Structure 1
Amino acid sequence: MKAPLPASFTSPLHLARNLACEFASNAAERDAQGGTPQAERDALRHSGLLGLSIPTRFGGLGASWRETFDVVREFAKVDSSIAHVFGFHHLMLATVRLFSRPDQWQPWFEQTARQNWFWGNALNPLDTRTVLKTFDGWREFSGRKSFCSGASDSEMLIASAVDESAGGKLIIAAIPSGRTGITLHDDWENMGQRQTDSGSVTFERVRVEESELLLDPGPLSTPFASLRPLIAQLHFTNLFLGISEGAFEEARHYTLKESRPWFTSKAQDISEDPYILRHYGEFWASLEAVRVLVERACVLLDAAWNKGPELGSEERAQLALAITSAKVNASRTGLDLTSRLFEVTGARATHAALRLDRFWRNLRTQTLHDPLDYKLHELGDWALNGARPTPTFYS
């Protein structure tokens, strides 16, 4: 049963901030440890926030995308791995909403809200090693998937395979994570996002029911169904902004509490050093610009989402451009800030116990999800030639 919300609950963001304070207490240690953040995932289950984006009529909290991403950002400030899998959970819910019939996605929404299900990802359209085979109406997935974020400790998986009998057509399904034949491998050992449970998954003759296939309307079939990759891209953008905001706050705290002026500085206190002030001024101006771009993109996404199947291709294209612009700036600002924060904290801030490098490592790892150069190519083609971006699973 769904756990009751605490008496002190005033809003999802208020609840997220309380949880973020708990997550922050051991985030650096868990970053070193890697593996599954079981206690933190369970805390999310008990909080009711796994139903955040689910409409109230299905038992959820009925949050908009803007409100959902506000929570992602709040978590990302202290623990970007938790923010990643939390945002992916809501992306998977959006996937079934956009790609399947109401008689499919509505029961999944209700059960997720009632039973606090966690949804994981095993959808990778570029990884074609998993195939769909059909035997007298009996369907099976067989093969291997890489980078399956949030798959471990999940109740449901969004998985993809190619139908070789249909010329390599991409097939997507929603299946229980514990189904026979599914093996979740604990082989994620990367420099960043170390607790996203992003290891590989093996499918060995995994049964897939007709009711689990997301065929109607299917992936990228309409402007509305094509919102899925844009939600993913805006999730990453909010993740990047949250990491940057968290790095800024950690650096600011360290600078004010621990740093000292350089011996040739005329400043009596670090807070008066002109070079330190210049760095923080640049950090702040860049963050403010990204915040404005992200806010605009979130507003446009909510407007597009609320139009449903009536969404047009031109509106979808303008949303894609807004999200891409925000992501480019969030990526560049974040990588710059998380690298340069040591210039305002000093040599002692490189102590391993502080793990201030985790902000850069996490951001650098996740910004490689899809190349920024191709995002800039899309923007350039629009800016110079007026060419609208073509919907794909990455744009």
Structure 2
Amino acid sequence: MSPSLQKIDIHSAHADGQNSDDVLTIAHALAQRLAKTAVERDQVGGHAATERQWIRSSGLLTLSVPQEFGGQGASWETINQVVRILAQADSSLAHVFGFHHLQVAGLQLYGNAQQQRRLLTATVEKQIFWGNSLNPLDKRTVATRLEDGYVLNGVKSFSSGSVGSDWLTISAWDETTQSPLIAVTSSNQPGIQIQSDWDAFGQKQTDSGNVHFNQVFLPDDLVLQAPGKTPTPQATVRSQMAQLIMTNLYLGIGLGAFEAARTYTKQQAKPWFASGVEQSSDDPFIQRRYAELWLLLRPAIALADSAGRELNQVLQQGALITKEDRGNLAISVVEAKCLAHRAGIEASTQLFDLTGARSTSSKFGFDRFWRNVRVHTLHDPIDYKLRDLGRYLLDARFPDPTPYS
């Protein structure tokens, strides 16, 4: 299995109605296109409007929409493989792509039949690019009840994909019930101001700034989960989908770093004078380091793929998903995410040990791999993932269903 990107002309392939092999062919082609400007765009930051349009034009935004609503009905195993492929080239836009599909999944998990038909059909027909303003830990956006809906006021941070989006998934705090509501709204709704003010040192083009709500009217028919309502086991699977998207982001970054290092070692690296070899790739210490890195990445890939298959199996049960189904899936996802976290950080760090001082030139942009994975792996602390796994191993206790576990 080669971690390298496949070179295919994106203009020669179309995603609609194709099988998973065709989808992955398009993903490889799109990744190859994004890779051409990834270093420059990472250094500049900001909103990648042109590249987001490439994603829209590829047909890949309809992957997760069921066929009955005009989408492709792809499995989550396939969707996560696309996230991983794109992340090898551009983890920021892979993030935006993955979170688009997370919002689409939320419509299916939280929305009623009428909401699903309306919004999922529109996603296909209008080529909607979904953004996220659902940050559950940020309770500054408050919902006040009206006769036929709510009015929203406040701000939401870490709103990935919000800049340039067509619609948003949002959450707001209801003071009366002391609980959140989950809803959707047009990004162009009067009173919504989306700020392009994301300034982290990594994942620079994820459009993850702040969204401000000023007297925004939210009608009842756009509320997916009303305040005070306890989510079903089926609905709580959304957090596992989010965690697997992140898992595959980390793996994609790790694989991208590995391939960048491998290519540089084979083509440009100078052997250390004491090695006694003419090519860096013939240095036994370099060879050993590559082997050890791959033995971090390979099992992480295996666990991520296994968890992806389990997610598909759980989702097929629909409303019959049990707490045990959800709990077993959560453990599989914890295992995969922890391994991907470590593999991504190690690959992006050891890259420089393998390639040497000249590889730190800004023209290569190799530092982006470490910066991107380091920023994103702080999304939620790995220590609590390890705690969940250890607690399960010792007490057979499943992780408590939260937006992060």
TM-score where L is the length of structure 2: 0.94
Contact 2:172 2:181 in 1 (8 A): yes
Q: Of 150, 154, 158, which aligns to 1:143?
A: 154
Partner SS for 1:143: strand
Cα gap change, 1:333 to 1:44, in 2 (>3 Å)? same
Partner of 1:52: 63
- Is residue 102 from structure 1 mapped to residue 113 from structure 2 by the alignment? yes
1:57-206 equivalent positions in 2, closer than 5 A: 57-166=68-177, 168-206=178-216
State the AA in 1 paired with 2:355.
Answer: T
Partner of 1:272: 282
Partner of 2:294: 284
What are the Cα deviations for residues 275-334 of structure 1, in whole angstroms up to 9, with x where unaligned? 100110011111111011001100100000111111111111110000001000100111
Partner of 1:215: 225
- Identical positions, percent: 44
Partner SS for 2:225: coil
Q: CA deviation at 1:137?
A: 3.6
Cα gap change, 1:358 to 1:220, in 2 (>3 Å)? farther
Q: Matches of 1:155 and 1:60 in 2, distance apart?
A: 18
Contact 1:52 1:60 in 2 (8 A): yes
Partner SS for 1:354: coil
Cα gap change, 1:218 to 1:348, in 2 (>3 Å)? farther
Partner SS for 1:224: coil
Deviates most, 123-132 or 211-220: 211-220
Structure 2 segments unaligned to the other structure (5+ residues): 1-9
Q: Matches of 2:154 and 2:361 in 1, distance apart?
A: 43
- Is residue 389 from structure 1 mapped to residue 399 from structure 2 by the alignment? yes
Contact 2:75 2:312 in 1 (8 A): yes
Q: Matches of 1:219 and 1:344 in 2, distance apart?
A: 53
Q: Of 322, 332, 352, which aligns to 1:322?
A: 332
- Is residue 246 from structure 1 mapped to residue 249 from structure 2 by the alignment? no
Contact 1:101 1:216 in 2 (8 A): no
Cα gap change, 1:321 to 1:138, in 2 (>3 Å)? closer
Q: Matches of 2:340 and 2:13 in 1, distance apart?
A: 33
What are the Cα deviations for residues 355-384 of structure 1, in whole angstroms up to 9, with x where unaligned? 101000000000000000100111111011
Partner SS for 1:165: coil
Number of positions where the alignment pairs a residue of Structure 1 with one of Structure 2: 390
State the AA in 2 paired with 1:251.
Answer: A
Q: Matches of 2:186 and 2:146 in 1, distance apart?
A: 21
State the AA in 1 paired with 2:94.
Answer: A
Q: Matches of 2:166 and 2:116 in 1, distance apart?
A: 15
Partner of 1:350: 360
Contact 1:100 1:217 in 2 (8 A): no
Q: CA deviation at 1:353?
A: 1.4
- Is residue 340 from structure 1 mapped to residue 340 from structure 2 by the alignment? no
1:300-311 equivalent positions in 2, closer than 5 A: 300-311=310-321
Partner of 1:232: 242
What are the Cα deviations for residues 27-66 of structure 1, in whole angstroms up to 9, with x where unaligned? 0000011111111111111111110111122111111000
Q: CA deviation at 1:154?
A: 0.6
Q: Matches of 1:294 and 1:248 in 2, distance apart?
A: 18
Please tell me the root mean square deviation across aligned C-alpha atoms, in Å: 1.5
Contact 1:99 1:216 in 2 (8 A): no
Q: Matches of 2:12 and 2:230 in 1, distance apart?
A: 42
Deviates most, 191-200 or 126-135: 126-135
State the AA in 2 paired with 1:91.
Answer: L
Cα gap change, 1:70 to 1:218, in 2 (>3 Å)? farther
Cα gap change, 1:284 to 1:155, in 2 (>3 Å)? same
Contact 1:144 1:203 in 2 (8 A): yes
TM-score where L is the length of structure 1: 0.96
Contact 1:99 1:217 in 2 (8 A): no
Cα gap change, 1:364 to 1:219, in 2 (>3 Å)? farther
Q: Matches of 1:224 and 1:331 in 2, distance apart?
A: 26
Cα gap change, 1:46 to 1:218, in 2 (>3 Å)? farther
Partner SS for 1:254: helix
Structure 1 segments unaligned to the other structure (5+ residues): none
